[in-house]
Amino acid sequence: MEKQKALDYIAEKEALITSVSDNIWDVAETAFEEYKSVEYLCDALESEGFEVERNVGDIETAFTGRYGKGYPINFMASVPMQRQIPMMVEVP
């Protein structure tokens, strides 16, 4: 994806990104207790067409997301956001 196209897409999703971020900061949950934050993130991803699996690895605050076919985007995350670890990303 070219740089300007990526920047345009981020600008298009600014309201969603800001809303999720604000909601997460408003609840300020501690490690492995981020239940509301996970719901905000998973709901936002699902609203954008991601397939989301919750409670990954028997960790209630861990989730995976998958989007697309052929060259899907896959990731695994656990809140808080600064500790998200992309496990695999496939792009064309």
Per-domain residue ranges of the chain: 3-89
Contact status, residue 51 vs residue 67, Cβ threshold 8 Å: yes
Alpha-carbon distance values, 22 to 25, 53, 84 (Å): 5, 23, 17
pLDDT of residue 61: 87
Alpha carbon distance 55, 62 (integer Å): 5
List the pLDDT tens digit at each of the 92 positions of the chain: 588 888 898 899 889 988 988 888 898 888 778 899 999 999 999 999 999 999 888 888 888 888 887 766 776 666 544 444 444 444 44
pLDDT of residue 84: 45
pLDDT of residue 30: 83
Alpha carbon distance 7, 13 (integer Å): 10
- In this prediction the pTM is 0.72
- Name the one residue in this structure whose structure tokens are 């656990």: 78
pLDDT of residue 43: 94
Peptide bond into 86 cis (omega under 30): no
